[in-house]
């Protein structure tokens, strides 16, 4: 009898965590998959583990897109100007679980009714010295929400009430670390990363226990000591200890390979390379790690010996495709350094390594691994060095998309020229030690790339835009309705993903500021997008 009760309790445990019945109260772990986002859920920052931001929903499609209208809006109120950045801007992608949307701005988490836009609860936190640059959203595990504050606190909330369960300190803001990432849940691991440039500190990625918040493992972006693999790309221990390589955007995961894929940030000192000669592994790279141990399996360095502040944290997008008659497991990234990469995600070997923004003249070509070779003549100089990429890079954090219908990769890119300067010429510089100035011939473009060749299939560049980033803004969403959504000037626009033709648009109060998402509720597909401090829900009127 005791054995039967014990077995019954084991079988009941998942129901106790998620709620009784076929519709769980929290996030069903089955919703976390590689390519199959459930129709009625948006469970992760990118919708699924792949980072494709492609939805199989087709209720909204090219034949009825003209009927898409705003159903409700939610405007953040009661939050004053944020320190250093002004009015709140929603950069997070809301999770949608069981009819509730969860999203963030720095220091605040919101839960609103996905049907009406009515606020259900709000969690407010007062940080102490963190950088309020942005916040990408929350992670969810069962009934629990995970949120990172700007000053390095890792907080768990009850998703039903917003009540705090616990908090753990994961980064020291006094060392200029900051935390803007949306946590990624892989099995029983909550994966979180950090940002920070000013104090020349090491980057790292952590796995935390979802029950307790305790650290399970930490992977450092540089080798820990001379003699370790990768240390040969640094001149000494001190340069490794201060080398940067932040991990401030969410990565992706392949359950079959049991590998997580993460981008690492720029090398420190940021613009001065004379004190850290070498490639400086594992900064400015894509790394494949075992999620259970944090062990490095392979790496690919997009910007060896970076001296231009070109973080390589852009989403490593996963997709499968038949090439030359063989099925391949692939990974693609449009990198801030202006290169488009397609890699075999089983081993990191490259298939495509090609500039998508002008010529990427900071490099002299690629090596045998497909990694760009830096041109020393294009490193920052006291009197300036011009490159044919804007000084802030060819792209940035807004998420890209890949459509299996078109086999095209879509990225919102910045085009033009920039000048990089060096002001600290000492043998051991610190901090930024230089900077960038000027954006010449600026233009922003929505670019569609052929994943087999890296060739540009089509490009949309709004006219009359003279500022950095131009009119294209926010992230990208593609759907099985043969639609692509992104920001174009002060509107959300729907494009034909095959040729870039604009099919529909909706004016907003300002530019799109996050990655659009989609899901169904009550058998009606919705499109969700943020512009500044306002969240918009759009659907097709069923009457």
pLDDT band at 199 (very low <50, low <70, confident <90, very high): confident
Higher pLDDT, 3 or 53: 53
- In this prediction, residue 426 has a pLDDT band, given cuts at 50, 70 and 90, of very high
DSSP letters, 467-512, are STTTTEEEEEEEETTTEEEEEESSEEEEE-TTT--EEEEEE-SS-B
For residues 231 and 223, the answer to whether their CB atoms sit within 8 Å is: yes
Q: Give the H or E element holding residue 169.
A: strand 164-169
In contact, 493 and 502? CB cutoff 8 Å: yes
Full-model pTM: 0.93
pLDDT recorded at residue 321: 95
What pLDDT is recorded for position 103? 98
- Is 541 annotated as catalytic? no
**Under 8 Å CB-to-CB from 254, ≥6 apart: which residues?**
34, 49, 261, 318, 329, 345
Give the residue from 131, 123, 137 showing the smallest Cα distance to 152. 131
Decide if pLDDT at 15 tops 50: no
Q: Tell me the average pLDDT across 453-480.
A: 82
The mean pLDDT value for 87-111 works out to: 96
Residue 509: the pLDDT is 92
Nearest Cα residue to 95 out of 155, 10, 28: 28
Residue 4 confidence (pLDDT) above 50: no
pLDDT at 441: 86
One-letter-per-residue 3-state SS of 41-98:
CECCCCCCCCCCCEECCCCCCCCCHHHEEEEEEEECCCCCCECCCECCCCCCCCEEEC
Query: Which of these CATH numbers, 2.30.140.10, 2.140.10.10, 3.40.30.10, 3.40.228.10, describes 46-540?
Result: 2.140.10.10
Q: Give the integer Cα–Cα distance in Å for 393 and 69.
A: 35
Q: Cα–Cα distance between 198 and 206 in angstroms, integer?
A: 21
Q: Is residue 505 very low, low, confident or very high in pLDDT (cuts 50, 70, 90)?
A: very high
Q: CA geometry: angle at 37 spanning 285 and 405, to 5°?
A: 75
Active-site option among 151, 200, 306, 309: 309
Q: Are 146 and 183 in contact (CB under 8 A)?
A: yes
Mean of the per-residue pLDDT values for the chain?
91
**Mean pLDDT, residues 226-238 taken together:** 97
Percent of the residues in the chain that have a pLDDT greater than 70, as a whole number? 93
Average pLDDT over residues 101-117: 97
Tokens standing for residue 43: 């469970």
**DSSP string for residues in 220-266:** ESS-SSTTSTTGGGSSSHHHHHT-B----S--EEETTTTEEEEE---
8 A C-beta contact, residue 266 and residue 284: yes
Tokens (6 digits) for 456 = 């540009």
Identify the CA nearest to 99 among candidates 20, 142, 40. Answer: 40
Specify whether the CB–CB gap between 359 and 388 falls below 8 A: yes
Could you tell me if 420 and 384 are in contact, meaning their C-beta atoms sit under 8 angstroms apart? yes
The answer, yes or no, to whether residue 515 has pLDDT greater than 80, is yes
- For 23-27, 141-145, 213-217, which range has the lowest pLDDT when averaged over its residues? 23-27
Residue at token pair 């045998």: 368
pLDDT band per the 50, 70, 90 thresholds, residue 10: very low
pLDDT class of 29 with cuts at 50, 70, 90: confident
Q: Of 374, 403, 220, 381, whose CA–CA distance to 302 is shortest?
A: 374
pLDDT of residue 25: 65
User: Please, which pLDDT band fits residue 19 given cuts at 50, 70 and 90?
Assistant: very low
Over range 380-405, report the average pLDDT. 95
Reported as a pLDDT band with limits 50, 70 and 90, residue 542 is low
DSSP string of 198-221, one letter each residue = TT--B-EEEEE-TTT--EEEEEES
pLDDT for position 468: 39
**Percentage of the chain lying above the pLDDT 90 cut:** 83
Please indicate whether residue 194 or residue 23 has the higher confidence score (pLDDT). 194
């Amino acid at each position: 009898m005791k054995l039967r009760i014990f077995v019954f309790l084991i079988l009941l445990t998942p129901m106790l965590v998620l709620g009784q019945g076929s519709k769980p109260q929290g996030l069903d772990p089955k919703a976390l998959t590689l390519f199959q986002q459930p129709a009625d859920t948006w469970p992760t920052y990118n919708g699924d583990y792949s980072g494709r931001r492609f939805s199989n929903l087709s209720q909204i499609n090219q034949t009825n897109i003209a009927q898409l209208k705003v159903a409700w809006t939610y405007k953040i109120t009661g939050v004053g100007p944020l320190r250093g950045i002004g009015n709140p801007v929603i950069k997070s992608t809301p999770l949608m679980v069981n009819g509730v949307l969860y999203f963030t701005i720095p220091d605040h988490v919101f839960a609103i009714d996905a049907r009406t836009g009515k606020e259900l609860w709000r969690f407010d936190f007062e940080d102490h010295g963190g950088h309020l640059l942005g916040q990408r959203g929350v992670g969810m595990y069962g009934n629990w929400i995970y949120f990172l504050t700007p000053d390095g606190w890792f907080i768990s909330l009850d998703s039903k009430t917003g009540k705090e369960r616990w908090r753990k300190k994961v980064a020291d803001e006094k060392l200029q670390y900051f935390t803007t990432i949306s946590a990624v849940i892989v099995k029983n691991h909550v994966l979180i990363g950090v940002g920070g440039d000013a104090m020349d500190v090491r980057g790292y990625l952590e796995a935390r226990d979802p029950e307790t918040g305790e650290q399970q493992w930490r992977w450092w972006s540089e080798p820990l000591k001379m003699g370790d693999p990768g240390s040969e790309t640094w001149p000494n221990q001190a340069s490794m200890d201060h080398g940067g390589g932040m991990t401030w955007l969410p990565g992706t995961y392949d359950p079959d390979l049991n590998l997580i894929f993460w981008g690492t940030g720029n090398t420190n000192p940021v613009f001065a390379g004379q004190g850290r000669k070498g490639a400086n592994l594992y900064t400015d790279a894509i790394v494949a790690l075992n999620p259970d141990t944090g062990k490095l399996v392979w790496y690919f360095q997009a910007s060896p010996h970076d001296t231009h502040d070109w973080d390589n944290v852009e989403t490593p997008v996963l997709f499968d495709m038949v090439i030359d008659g063989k099925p391949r497991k692939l990974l693609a990234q449009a990198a801030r350094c202006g290169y488009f990469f397609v890699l075999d995600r089983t081993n990191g070997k490259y298939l495509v390594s090609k500039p998508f923004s002008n010529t990427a003249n900071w490099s002299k070509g690629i090596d045998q691994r497909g990694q760009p070779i830096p041109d020393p003549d294009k490193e920052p100089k006291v009197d300036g060095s011009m490159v044919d990429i804007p000084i802030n890079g060819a792209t940035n954090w807004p998420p890209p998309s890949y459509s299996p219908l078109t086999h095209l990769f879509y990225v919102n890119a910045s085009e033009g020229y920039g000048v990089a300067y060096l002001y600290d010429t000492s043998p051991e510089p610190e901090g930024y030690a230089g900077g960038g100035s000027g954006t010449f011939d600026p233009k922003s473009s929505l670019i569609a790339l052929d994943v087999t060749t890296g060739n540009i299939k089509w490009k949309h560049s709004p006219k009359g835009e003279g500022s950095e980033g131009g009119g294209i803004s926010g992230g990208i969403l593609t759907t099985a309705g043969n639609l692509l959504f992104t920001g174009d000037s002060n509107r959300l626009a729907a494009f034909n993903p095959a040729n870039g033709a604009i099919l529909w648009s909706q004016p907003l109060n300002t530019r799109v500021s996050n990655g659009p998402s989609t899901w169904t509720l009550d058998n009606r597909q919705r499109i969700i997008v943020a512009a500044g401090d306002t969240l918009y829900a759009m659907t097709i009127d069923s009457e």
